[in-house]
Chains A and B, each alone.
Chain A
């Protein structure tokens, strides 16, 4: 099956988008106080670390960083089977934190729903915000990102993939037409 692939964001474009998101996070939260980054495994965790570095470069502050694995919170066990369960690591207290949930692609919204449930099971943050590298539309739940790298209109059949280097740095975003 020959899929036609198009690069919609290259490395400089991703870098610019993430820098902008870093600034927006600081602006919206009036600095770094009580802000923590939580990446969704897998993909979002790499982007969250990337954002942590950029914010440190801008503000000189290392934000608390965590990961959340949503496998245990999925609503599609029956159709997908048992996926490997990844690690949820939140080594800082959630209470009163402004959590910025980070993921690579926002699609139906179900992953973010599961991630929010997972966070709330573990503690009670003051707020949860959502940062997304690519928003491809087709939401099935009332979920809206606070920070967006790029809006990419897609058809449901298309696949969006964020490529990472071996060092987990984002390289490019591709869209594949079936």
Chain B
């Protein structure tokens, strides 16, 4: 089976077969991280630029390690050290990047559609590391990989995603990914954090978190941005935590072997209690570990994405 994508802009463009190939490839790559010499020459001579217009430690580090384990030359540009503070346009940034002949650009950007913008205008491969409130495909893929490892398969599971759906690229990518792989998706949050007509993506929408948790196989908590509280969207952390925070009590509504996931970084005591965050059901560190493998798979697959894979000799 071949992978026909030059870019990874979102889960929306991927098929279930694409997702399975990515996860299978990631499983193969996972072994490399357990070796004494954690490096294979697969992407030797390739240049990967990680350009992050928004602060991110986890995703940027994960992509950087992924590139390095595949022997690519990886360079990081963060917003604070880039020309962006001087007011350079994304178009000029793109042209400058292109002049350096990178093979892959991994980009995080605050505006939805920024990855599309780059992909339309440049010759290199673009891997979207999060664009505004649009998509964060590698996060959804590592979540799927973790679920598949723990549950055997994804089809037939019920997954509750709880929190700030409206502003979450993680939620959008996961809704697409889980639906494509045959899971049932429930979304829960106050109306102010549920975007218009989100149900049309094929998810069940709840404002009552307890109802949303009933009998689910996976609980995916979203990070609540601190700037959201105390304005028109949310009265306070205290109120949010009371109605939409995950704690040992409401977690009992889920299946007894339900997984607890969080894309990080966590606000302990707000969307997730410490008892749950440190509890036996959480797979949060598995998510982080799988993140490197998934990103290795993405970098590898887009590198050959332009050519249709021929039969192996």
**Interface residues, chain A, CB within 8 Å of chain B?**
42, 69, 71-74, 77-88, 107, 111, 117-118, 121-123
Contacts and interface: CB of A to CB of B under 8 A. Distances in A.
Given A80-B309, A121-B35, 15 more contacts: A72-B29, A72-B40, A73-B42, A78-B307, A79-B307, A81-B2, A81-B307, A81-B308, A81-B310, A82-B25, A82-B304, A83-B312, A84-B24, A87-B31, A88-B28
Given A69-B28, A73-B40, A87-B28, A82 B301 contact: yes
A82 B3 contact: yes
B291 to A, nearest CB: 18
16 contacts: A72-B32, A72-B70, A74-B42, A77-B304, A78-B304, A79-B307, A81-B3, A81-B308, A82-B3, A82-B301, A82-B303, A83-B309, A84-B1, A84-B25, A84-B309, A85-B29
Nearest to B307: A81
Contacts of B70: 72
Interface in B16-70: 21, 24-25, 28-29, 31-32, 35-37, 39-43, 70
Given A79-B307, A107-B313, A84 B21 contact: yes
Contacts of A123: 36
B306 interface: yes
Given A82-B304, A85-B300, A111 B313 contact: yes
B305 interface: yes
Contacts of A74: 42
Contacts of A81: 2-3, 304-310
Give the one of A69, A88, A117 with max B CB within 10 A: A88
A64 B41 CA distance: 26
B35 A83 contact: no
Interface in B73-87: none
Contact of B304 (A42, A69, A83, A107): A83
A82 B18 CA distance: 12
A73 B41 contact: yes
Nearest to B302: A82
A71 B310 CA distance: 13
A122 B37 contact: yes
A107 to B, nearest CB: 7
A80 B310 contact: yes
Contacts of B31: 87-88
Given A79-B307, A88-B31, A72 B313 contact: no
B17 to A, nearest CB: 12
Contacts of B36: 122-123
Contacts of B310: 80-81
